[in-house]
Amino acid sequence: MNASKPKIVVLGAGYAGMMTTKRLCQQLQPEEADIVLINKHNYHYQTTWLHEVAAGTINHNLARIMISDVINPNRVRLIYDSVVKVNKEEQLVELENGEVSYDYLVFSLGFETNTFGIKGMDEHAFFINDIDTCREIDSHIEYQFAKYRNEENANDDSLAILVGGGGFTGIELLGELVEKVPKLCKKYDIDRNKVRIINVEAAPTILPGFDKDLVAYAKDSLQSRGVEFMENAKIQECTEDGFIVGDDHEEIKAGTVVWTGGVKGSSVLGESGFELTKGKVTVNEDLRAPGEENIFILGDCAWVMNKEEGRPYPPTAQAAMQHADTCANNIRALLHDEPLKAFKFSDKGTVASLGVTDGMGTVLSGTKLYGKPAATMKKVVDNRYLFLLGGPKLVLRKGKFRPF
C-alpha cells in the first residue's frame, strides 16, 4: 500500500459491503485510493436466501460466493478476520488477529439476532444468522426425524418445528419448511400428520406492517399446507422443550425451535462507542455516522430515516444495495472535494417466497403479486442481485432456476 494514497476500509462482505467495494472499484482508479475489504469468512452469502439453507431446500453452497470470485484481489486487499472494535480516535480497526488503519471507513457488518431479552431464547433457540447456523438448523431437523423411529415410545413433539416470529424471515422459513417436511416424512417413513409446524407471533397478525391482502394470502397458503399460526401470542420464555406462550403460560413443545423475531446491528457498533437507537446507528442523510467525517454506516447497522414518513426505511437487501451506491458516490465526492448527496430510497417492491412455487408481494408501483408470478419475481430479484454483483456468469453459476 502507498502511504500517500487514501485508504478506504470496508467492514463486512454482506450486500452493502460487497456492493460498495464493487462500486468503489468501478468509480476509483487504482492510483486514487487503496481499498481493503475485511470479512470473517472468505465467502459472501446471501442473507435473503438463508431461510432456504435452514430448511435444507437449497444447498448452502448455492447461497454463498467466494469473495475473490467477484472482487479482484489485485485491486482490493482482502482480509479474512473478525472485527473486534473500531478505534475512531486513532482511525484503526482492531481485528482478532491484527489491526488495520483507515482514512475512510465503511461500516457494514450486518445484523445480529435480537432476542429482546426473552428468557432462554439465546440458550435454546436456533437463529437464522449465517451459513453456519442455518446448516445446523437443517441438520438438526433431519436428525430429529432420523432419531424418531429408534426411540421406544417416541414422542411426536420431537418432530415439531416451532418458529418464533411471524415477520419476513419467519414467513419465508415456513414456506420452505412446508416443502421440506413432507420429503423428510417420506425419507424416514413418518406420517406427515405427526409433524406440527407452528408459528408464534406477538403482534395481532403475522407480517405486521404488510398489506392486509398479502398477509391474508400468505396465511392461507401456509395454513393450507399445515402451518399452525398463533397470533397475539407473546413468548414468555424459551425452554429446552419449546415456548411458554401468552398470559396463561401455555407450553408449546417442539424438538426444533427457531427464533426469527428480531435483529439489531452488529455488536461491534456498541463496542466502538457509536450511539445506538434500538441496536443500530441513525445515520445522516449522506449515510455518515453523526459527527463523523469519514465513517459511513450501511445496511442492517444503520437506521436511514424516511423524512416524509418520519420513520426509518425497512432494513432490506434492496435498501442495503442502494446504500452502497450512495456510499461509493459520496466517498468519491470526498476524495474529489465535491458535495455529498443525500440517500434516496427507490422502492422496487418487496416479494416474499412461500416455498418454491408460491409467494406474494408488491412490485414497483405497488402492484400486488400472488402465487407463481410472485415466486417467479422473487427469483428474478435474487438473480438480479447476482447480476449486479458478478455479471451473467454468476447468475448462471449461482442463480435460481428451480423448476416449476
Residue 85 or 135 with smaller CB distance to a copy of itself? 135
Taking CB under 8 A as the criterion, the residue among 52, 138, 300, 358 binding a copy of itself is 138
Is 237 a binder of a copy of itself (CB under 8 A)?
A: no
Q: Pattern 354-373, binding to a copy of itself, x per CB under 8 A?
A: --------------------
Residue 72 or 155 with smaller CB distance to a copy of itself? 155
Minimum gap (Å) between residue 60 Cβ and a copy of itself: 8
Residue 111 or 343 with smaller CB distance to a copy of itself? 111
Beta-carbon contacts of 260 under 8 Å, excluding residues fewer than 6 positions away, are 127, 128, 163, 164, 165, 167, 169, 170, 173
Annotate 105-155 with DSSP letters as a single string.
EEE---EEE--TT-BTHHHH-EE--SHHHHHHHHHHHHHHHHHHTTSTT--
Beta-carbon contacts of 77 under 8 Å, excluding residues fewer than 6 positions away, are 1, 34, 35, 36, 37
> Are the C-beta atoms of 210 and 201 separated by less than 8 Å?
no
Minimum gap (Å) between residue 142 Cβ and a copy of itself: 5
Q: In this chain, which stretch among 105-113, 137-145, 210-218, 222-230 interacts with a copy of itself, using CB under 8 A?
A: 137-145
Q: State the cell numbers at 5.
A: 494514497
Residue 84 or 305 with smaller CB distance to a copy of itself? 84
Whose CA is closest to 361, among 353, 369, 216, 379?
Answer: 369
Is 183 a binder of a copy of itself (CB under 8 A)?
A: no
Minimum gap (Å) between residue 262 Cβ and a copy of itself: 19
Minimum gap (Å) between residue 244 Cβ and a copy of itself: 25
Residue 46 or 284 with smaller CB distance to a copy of itself? 46
Q: State the cell numbers at 147.
A: 432419531
Residue with cell 410472485: 374
Interactions with a copy of itself, residue window 117-136 (CB under 8 A):
132-133, 135-136
Taking CB under 8 A as the criterion, the residue among 72, 139, 267, 277 binding a copy of itself is 139
Instruction: Compute the radius of gyration of the chain from its Cα atoms.
Output: 22
Is 188 a binder of a copy of itself (CB under 8 A)?
A: yes
Q: Applying CB under 8 A, what is the total number of residues that bind a copy of itself? A: 15
Minimum gap (Å) between residue 181 Cβ and a copy of itself: 15
> Are the C-beta atoms of 250 and 228 separated by less than 8 Å?
no
- Residue 338 appears among annotated catalytic residues: no
Interactions with a copy of itself, residue window 293-322 (CB under 8 A):
none
d(CA 113, CA 364): 30
Q: State the cell numbers at 48.
A: 435473503
Residue 72 or 139 with smaller CB distance to a copy of itself? 139
Taking CB under 8 A as the criterion, the residue among 85, 119, 124, 140 binding a copy of itself is 140
d(CA 266, CA 17): 14
From 52, 112, 172, 176, the catalytic residue: 172
Whose CA is closest to 363, among 353, 377, 376, 383?
Answer: 377
Taking CB under 8 A as the criterion, the residue among 69, 142, 157, 241 binding a copy of itself is 142
Residue 122 or 250 with smaller CB distance to a copy of itself? 122
Interactions with a copy of itself, residue window 143-172 (CB under 8 A):
143, 145-147, 149-150
Q: Pattern 199-218, binding to a copy of itself, x per CB under 8 A?
A: --------------------
> Are the C-beta atoms of 128 and 60 separated by less than 8 Å?
no
Whose CA is closest to 108, among 269, 260, 250?
Answer: 269
Residue 112 sits at φ, ψ, to 5 deg, of -125, 160
Beta-carbon contacts of 255 under 8 Å, excluding residues fewer than 6 positions away, are 144, 157, 158, 159, 160, 161
- 356-393: burial string, b at 16+ Cβ within 10 Å, e else: bbbbbbbbeeeeebbeeebbebbbebbbebbebbbeee
Residue 142 or 211 with smaller CB distance to a copy of itself? 142
Active site residues: 172
Q: What residues make contact with a copy of itself under the rule CB under 8 A?
A: 132-133, 135-136, 138-140, 142-143, 145-147, 149-150, 188
